Structure 1
Amino acid sequence: MDEPRRAGDEDLHITPCGDQVEHALTDDCVCGPAKEMCTDAAGATTGWLTVHHSLDGRESIEHLNHEPTQEK
């Protein structure tokens, strides 16, 4: 399971557990993380969510094992 870690008061980083490297809680982490602005119900910016990618390829395996849902 991924673990959330805070880098600052308004930043939340999601990092893979047990990966090949210790992820830097920065935008220039070696994994090339994706960053998304978070807003409240009124649309005001509340901070940033940064999702780090694993370097052991688990996303590829998870994608292959995922079965698409059937729409009814």
Structure 2
Amino acid sequence: MSGQWLAKQTGGNEVHVAPLDDLLVRDLTDLCPCGPTPSPSPMGDGSDGWVYTHHSLDGREAAE
């Protein structure tokens, strides 16, 4: 467990935040087996975007 996270823009209006070196290889989509939590996020042009926060399987959120 590294405790590090990846933030990656995967589409024009989507950003995925996922744990690195976790017990699961991530699918940076909303269909990832970890059940990412979507949150609306306003974009600079006034449109709505989404931030998908992926959940770790190694429990790092409890230690952070």
Pairwise TM-score range, normalised by the shorter structure: 0.7 to 0.9
Q: Which amino acid aligns with 2:21?
A: G
Q: Which amino acid aligns with 1:50?
A: Y
Moved over 3 A (4+): none
Q: CA RMSD in A?
A: 1.9
Gaps of 5+ in 1: 63-72
- Once the 2 structures are TM-superposed, how far is the Cα of residue 61 of structure 1 from its aligned partner? 3.2
Q: Which has the higher contact order (CA 8 A, sep 6+)?
A: 2
> Which one has a larger percent strand, Structure 1 or Structure 2?
2
- Once the 2 structures are TM-superposed, how far is the Cα of residue 40 of structure 1 from its aligned partner? 4.6
Q: What TM-score do the two structures reach when normalised by structure 1?
A: 0.70
Gaps of 5+ in 2: none
- Alpha carbons of 1:54 and 1:35: their partners in 2 closer, same or farther (altered >3 Å)? same
Q: What TM-score do the two structures reach when normalised by structure 2?
A: 0.77
1:59 to 49, 58, 61: 61
Aligned residues, how many? Answer: 61
